Amino acid sequence: MTDTLAIIRRRALRWALNGAASLALLYILVPMIFVVWLAFFRQEIPSFPPEGYSLKWFAAILDQRKFLDGFRLSFQVGVLATLIGLALGVPAALCVVRFEFRFRMPLASLLLMPLIVPGVVLGTAMYVFHVEVEHGLDMDVLGTFYALVAGHTVIVIPWVVRLVTASLAGVDRSTEEAAQNLGANAWVTFWRITLPAIRPGIVAGALFGFVTSFGNLEMSLFLVGPGRTTLPIVILQYLEWKIDPTIAAVSVVQILLIATVMLITDRYVKLARVV
């Protein structure tokens, strides 16, 4: 009898847990579901119920040059910032994990800081910094492509550092010693043994860094120049005047793109294992 009760209790608990998890998941997914749904509405002013469905808003994207330009700029900035972020973030993570030195912990925190600082604050700070540099060096800085890339690099680095640090913790140090024992110098050991072991972290860090850069709005607002706007800013500007489903269509394209990148990456590196 008590056994039956125990089983019922356990089942009830499991149902409660699953229920709570489903609610949380739904809460996260609802906005996405609505955006995707909206993208296919026929009428110009979003209202419920839909009057019918159409693909014309997707075609509308192509008619608007600024969307394509915004997409191209965001993509270029994202790729460049990610590459530079990797070149700086991977060695930084190695230093923080592997070496004992003064200010090690403060450095580790500093590298992760851009994740915590609000985008507006970061953007303002960079704006002021760029103005000062422009004055000091007497050259164009503010609003240039390279200034934008530099800014985005700052928000890519924390992702690379975080994920590479996590995967470094799982590397058996004695495998590196074994390689050295077998005749590999420090450099060869890194390329042949350490790098393959942390590759999942590097790929995941690059991916998350790119996605963060690609979707960044607040900081970018301070860094873009005339005729040079990233996709999120184009969307924002468009929304100031119109609220037709074009924006929803753009979002759908963006979601599909990122989802595709993630799925492809997941085939080579199990993201669930590093994140």
Of 197, 255, 261, 262, the one binding another protein (CB under 8 A) is 197
By CB under 8 A, tell whether 260 contacts another protein: no
Asked, as a colleague might, if the bond just before 196 is cis with ω within 30 of 0, I would say no
- As a whole number of angstroms, the distance between CA 125 and CA 110 comes to 15
Q: Within 13 Å and on the Cβ side, how many CA atoms surround 165?
A: 18
Of the ranges 3-11, 60-68, 154-162, 188-196, which one interacts with another protein (CB under 8 A)?
188-196
- As a whole number of angstroms, the distance between CA 193 and CA 152 comes to 30
Residues constituting the chain: 275
Of 2, 4, 47, 181, the one binding another protein (CB under 8 A) is 181
By CB under 8 A, tell whether 31 contacts another protein: no
Q: Write out the two tokens for 117.
A: 């600082």
By CB under 8 A, tell whether 99 contacts another protein: no
How near is the Cβ of 182 to another protein at its closest, in Å?
3
Of 90, 126, 149, 193, the one binding another protein (CB under 8 A) is 193
- As a whole number of angstroms, the distance between CA 108 and CA 35 comes to 38
Of the ranges 5-13, 32-40, 65-73, 186-194, which one interacts with another protein (CB under 8 A)?
186-194
CB burial of residue 226 (10 Å; 0-12, 13-18, 19+)? exposed
Of the ranges 135-143, 180-188, 230-238, 247-255, which one interacts with another protein (CB under 8 A)?
180-188
Do 189 and 181 meet the contact criterion of CB atoms below 8 Å apart?
no
- Choose among 172, 162, 146: nearest CA to 90: 162
Q: If DSSP codes are grouped into helix, strand and coil, which group holds residue 225?
A: strand
By CB under 8 A, tell whether 185 contacts another protein: yes
By CB under 8 A, tell whether 270 contacts another protein: no
How near is the Cβ of 197 to another protein at its closest, in Å?
7
Q: How far is CA 22 from CA 11, 26, 34, 37, in A?
A: 16, 6, 18, 21
2 vs 174 by CB, closer to another protein: 174
Q: Write out the two tokens for 240.
A: 């100031």
Per-position x/- string for 139-178, each x denoting binding to another protein as judged by CB under 8 A, each - no binding: ---------------------------------x-xx-xx
Of the ranges 45-53, 56-64, 160-168, 181-189, which one interacts with another protein (CB under 8 A)?
181-189
Distance of CA 161 to the CA centre of its chain: 13
How near is the Cβ of 160 to another protein at its closest, in Å?
21
Q: Which residues of the chain form contacts with another protein (CB under 8 A)?
A: 172, 174-175, 177-185, 188, 192-193, 196-197
